[in-house]
């Protein structure tokens, strides 16, 4: 490294700390508006990052210390949760470079080590940001899965299961398990699988349905698939999907009527 500067870089940075931090803060206000995050938090992150950076330079380290890494992770998690974009998060870290460049224009060649560190900081914050996002996505899909399997008793011995949304293999498995356990728990002989909320039915969806029905049948319960819209019926016929060994009905009401008939129940209008 060329060392032409009279004062070593870390000492210089320490000396100029208050001014640089102020400049950085102003730069962030100008270039990157983060209204969802309060000033104090931003300033805390800024001074923390700055001190971490100076310390790394003093020790001649080219990698990030554990303290700096966890600070960056905390920052990224905060930004991800507040709904900031990845580029905003990266810009936040990389903007320190601009501030330092503006300030030490003449000493630019001597701060290659500094640039490397800031790049590493930016990359780490990116990793942490994406990791957090993925965590959020995983949690949400699990919540969705839990929400999406409502098994509702319609009548004594008749369960209904309204399926809403695309039926992929993960959901199909969750639905099958839930339905079968509810059948066993309540001793219901009939289950209505309502697919009016399923946007499209392809061969795979049909196969999932057939498996669910077959498993319920093994237990001794009969399933009726209801809510098959005319358009979906047409698609199923075109695809050659054969549900002939499964009881199907146009609407949930028709399915219920079928179950009543099988249970020898009739609905009579009052006098």
Partner 1 sequence: MADVHIISIDGVLVVTLPAVSDDRMAERLVEQVGERLVELAARAVLIDVTNARIIDSFMGRVLAGLAGAIRLLGAEPVMVGMRPEVAITMVELGMDLGGVATALSIEHGLAGLRARAGRRM
Q: Which residue's CB is nearer to partner 1, number 160 or number 176?
A: 176
Residue 218 sits in the site that holds partner 1 (CB under 8 A): yes
Residue 219 in contact with partner 1, rule: CB under 8 A: yes
Among 19, 31, 177, 202, binds partner 1 (CB under 8 A): 177
Residue 267 engages partner 1 in binding (rule: CB under 8 A): no
Kindly tell me which of 76 and 188 has the beta carbon lying closer to partner 1.
188
Our CB check for partner 1 shows the closer of 100 and 221 to be 221
Q: Does 102 bind partner 1 (CB under 8 A)?
A: no
169-206 burial string, b = 16+ CB within 10 Å, else e?
Answer: eebbeebbebbbebbeeeebbbbbbbbeebeebeeebb
Choose, by CB under 8 A, the member of 53, 68, 111, 183 that binds partner 1. 183
Instruction: From residue 56, give the alpha-carbon distance in Å to each of 14, 44, 77, 103, 112.
Output: 12, 18, 23, 20, 13
Q: Does residue number 126 form part of the binding site for partner 1 (CB under 8 A)?
A: no
Measured CA to CA, the distance from residue 160 to residue 151 in angstroms comes to: 6
Q: How many CB atoms lie within 10 A of CB 16?
A: 14
Token couple for 61: 């380290």
Contact residues for 73 (Cβ-Cβ < 8 A; gap 6+): 124, 125, 128
Rounded to a whole number of angstroms, the minimum distance from the CB of residue 259 to partner 1 is 15
Write out the DSSP string of 89-154: HHHHHHHHHHHHHHHTGGGGGGGHHHHHHHHHHHHHHHHHHHHHHHHHHHHHHHHHHHHT---EEE
Q: Measured from the CB atom, is 77 or 159 closer to partner 1?
A: 159
Closest separation between CB of residue 213 and partner 1, Å?
9
**Residue 187 within binding range of partner 1, rule CB under 8 A:** yes
Which range of residues in 103-111, 120-128, 144-152, 217-225 is near partner 1 by CB under 8 A? 217-225
Q: Which residues contact 200 (CB under 8 A, 6 or more apart)?
A: 166, 232, 235
Residue span binding partner 1 (CB under 8 A) among the ranges 94-102, 141-149, 182-190, 246-254 = 182-190
Stretch that binds partner 1, among 60-68, 98-106, 142-150, 214-222 (CB under 8 A): 214-222
Q: Which is nearer to partner 1, 37 or 263 (CB)?
A: 263
- 62 binding partner 1? (CB under 8 A): no
Q: Which residues pair with 160 in a beta bridge?
A: 152, 192
Contacts to partner 1 by CB under 8 A: 176-177, 180-181, 183-184, 187-189, 211, 214-221
């Amino acid at each position: 490294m060329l060392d032409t500067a009279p004062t070593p870089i870390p000492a210089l940075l320490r000396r100029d700390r208050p001014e640089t931090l102020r400049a950085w803060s102003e730069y962030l206000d100008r270039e990157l508006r983060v209204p969802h995050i309060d000033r104090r938090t931003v300033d805390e992150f800024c001074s923390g990052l700055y001190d971490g950076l100076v310390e790394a330079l003093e020790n001649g380290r080219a990698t990030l210390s554990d303290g700096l890494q966890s600070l960056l992770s905390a920052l990224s998690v905060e930004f991800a949760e507040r709904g900031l974009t990845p580029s905003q998060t990266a810009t936040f870290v990389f903007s320190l470079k601009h501030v330092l460049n503006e300030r030490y224009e003449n000493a630019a060649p001597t701060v290659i080590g500094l640039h490397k560190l800031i790049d590493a900081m930016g990359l780490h914050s990116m990793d942490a940001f994406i990791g957090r996002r993925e965590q959020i996505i995983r949690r949400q899909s699990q919540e969705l899965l839990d929400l999406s399997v409502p098994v509702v008793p319609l009548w004594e011995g008749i369960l209904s299961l309204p399926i809403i949304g695309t039926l992929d293999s993960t959901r199909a498995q969750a639905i099958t398990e839930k339905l079968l356990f509810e059948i066993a728990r309540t001793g219901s002989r009939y289950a209505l699988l309502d697919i009016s909320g399923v946007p499209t039915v392809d061969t795979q969806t049909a196969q999932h349905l057939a498996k669910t029905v077959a498993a319920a049948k093994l237990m001794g319960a009969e399933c009726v698939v209801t809510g098959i819209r005319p358009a979906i019926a047409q698609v199923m016929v075109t695809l050659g999907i054969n549900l002939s060994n499964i009881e199907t009905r146009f609407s949930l009401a028709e399915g219920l009527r079928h179950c009543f008939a099988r249970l020898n129940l009739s609905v009579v209008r009052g006098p």
